Structure formats: C-alpha cells, structure tokens
Amino acid sequence: MLKKVPRKVFTGISRLIHHSKILADKLDYGLDYRKDFIVIKNEWTDHVNDVEGVQFTGKLYMFLLECILHKQYSAVQGIKGNFRSYFLVRHKYKNDLDFLSYLKDLERKSSVHLVRDVVFDFEEYLSRFLLPGQEYSERLRQICKRIAVEEFGVRCYKTEIVFKRNSVVKFAEYIVEILKEANKPMKLEDIYHQLQFKGKRLPVSLEALRSTILGIDEIVAIGKSSTYALKSWDNVKTGTIKQLVKEMLEISSDAVHISKIAEHVNKFRSTTQKNVLSNLKLDKTNTFVFFKLDYVGLKSKKYKNIRIEQHPKYNRHRNSHKKDDNQLFLL
C-alpha cells in the first residue's frame, strides 16, 4: 500500500499542473528556479515549516517540487533513505548521469573505514556513472561536486575528489607527520615541543616519548644523540659517529686526516672536529689507530703510505725529523 502512495500523490498534484506557477511561487522561499539544480537543505525545510506551521520533511518538499516542476527538474534521490539535503537537477543533466549509482558509491566510500585519504581523478571518477552516449562536462562536475560536498562532506577540487580518512589519528601518526613536515632529523625535545604546538596530549616525560618513538616502525634513531628520522629518507645515516667514521675508513686505502673525517661526519651530524676525535679516542673496542698529525686509520688494516707531506703541520717538523715521506708516525 505504501508503495502506491507516492504515485497517488504525484497523480493528485499533476491535476494542478496548470497552477504550477502559483504553487512554485508559494514554495519559493528563496529557491531559484532558473538554476541548473535546486538544493533543499535542512535549514530551508525548517524555515518553511516555521512559517507555515507544519512539520514536513525535506524529502516531502523534494517530492512536491518534483511533481510541480516535472517539466524542468527531476529529483536526484529516490524516496528510499533519508538525506541531509535533497537535490533536483534539470532534465538535461539527469539524462547525462546515473545519479542514484553516483550517490550509492559516494555513500559506500564515505562509510568504509579509511586509515588514509583516498584520492580519485574527478573526471575519471564521474565517467564511471555517465549514461551511454553522454560526455563529461564542467557543469556536470559542478553539480556532482555540490552533491558530494553537501551530502557527504567529501572534498572536491578542480581535478580531484578526496575521501578523507575517517579513523582516529593515532599518536604515533602525529609524530611521523611532524618529521615529514620538518623534512629533516629532529631532536627528542623538538618533537615534544611540536606535539605541544599541535595541541596534542603529551606523554608524562621525555623518556616516555622516547619509548613511544622507538616503537614506531617508520622511525629510526640516529646514533645516541636522541635524534630521530624517517626510514624512508635515503640521505640519513643512523649509525653513531664512530660507525660513520668506521664506514668511511673501511673504503679508504689510506689513513685519513681528522679534518676530512669531520667533514664527512657533518654531512649526517652537526658536530665539531674536536668532538669527532674525542669520540674515536674514547672508543673501547680497539677499532681505531691514531697517527701523528691527526691522521686516523683502522687497526684491522695495514697502511703503506700516508701523504702527510701535504699537511702544513708536517712541513714544520720535516727537517728536524728527516723522516721518509712514506713513513707512518704512530703516537
């Protein structure tokens, strides 16, 4: 029986079609019947109900307007389901697109659990719902954009339609986001302050934050400096200063002057030549060997020659020592 009601209402209202202009004016309340589409919002429905002293739904107003304006407009939504807004479009656009399928797909994509934004090319996305023989147009995109934004809160841009994540952002994700925004390694204290700046609830202490960061797969610790970076960054080395020096010396056939070593380390760490040398001399693994004039090598390697004649410090002692240029000077 209920299925017959809309048809009977439509038939009854159709008998008054010759008065459609009068009825349309009565239901005007700011609606513009010259536009390509009409939007019936909750605010409009509430306003008409207050003025007329009735309690009709937006769905009913949509149905009434479609009956009255059936020569120009068609309703986008069917009588099943409830919506925040209701839309009527001119026939030429209703004949371009399968709006019901478009609405169902918007609803499905908006309700599914999303852990990240999902982006589609807008033209390609709408082309899925074009009726046979019809073509994509800018005006059709504008109508579909309005429906997506008004009804589902979907973000639409010139060339993209974006379904925003609808899951709660985890605390670890904020930390990853901070590093991505900085686009460089960050100290523990700086990450802490950025979290505070974003207004997020902070861990009880820096140590608690450190523990959280160390448990995030996308992040790596850089040495022992409480500095952190993203694993995806190719230009970041995560070892300690001693590990960086060892890697450098392993590929060098000669011992290397500390200034060159410090220059290499500073590509990945902000430090000084003095600090690098101190780190190496405090090493307890017996990895490094130190020569005069601040040359450093590995104990696991045998060096035949150090070009110390190029170092100005050596030149001052050259005559007094009278050593061969190829000789190593152990401390």
Domain termination residue (choose one: 146, 167, 188): 167
> Two tokens at 13?
């209202």
Q: Examine residue 326 and state whether it is found in any structural domain, yes or no.
A: no
- 328 located within any domain: no
Residues 6+ apart with CB under 8 A from 128: 105
Indicate whether 204 and 245 sit together in one domain: no
- Please write the tens of the pLDDT for every residue from 211-238: 888 888 888 887 677 888 888 887 666 6
Domain count for the chain: 4
pTM of the model: 0.49
Q: What is the chain's mean pLDDT, rounded?
A: 80
Is 225 domain-assigned? Answer: yes
DSSP output for 190-201: HHHHHHHHTTPP
Q: Which domain does 206 fall in, by range?
A: 171-230
| Residue at 235 is within a domain | no
> Residue 3's pLDDT is what?
47
Strand partners, 88: 38, 75
Question: Looking at the structure, do residues 1 and 79 belong to the same domain, yes or no?
Answer: yes
Domain boundary among 187, 205, 230: 230
Q: What is the CATH number of the domain that holds 285?
A: 1.10.10
**Residues 8, 85: one domain?**
yes
Backbone angles phi, psi at 102, to 5 degrees: -60, -45
Per-residue tokens: 168: 């709660």
* Domain assignment of residue 29, yes or no: yes
Domain boundary among the residues 128, 143, 167 is at: 167
What confidence tens digit (pLDDT) does each residue in 139-196 have? 999 999 999 998 888 888 888 999 887 766 677 888 888 888 888 888 888 888 888 8
Instruction: Establish if 331 belongs to a structural domain.
Output: no
User: Looking at the domain assignment, is residue 184 inside a domain?
Assistant: yes
Alpha-carbon distances, residue 299 vs 246, 264, 281 (angstroms): 11, 20, 13
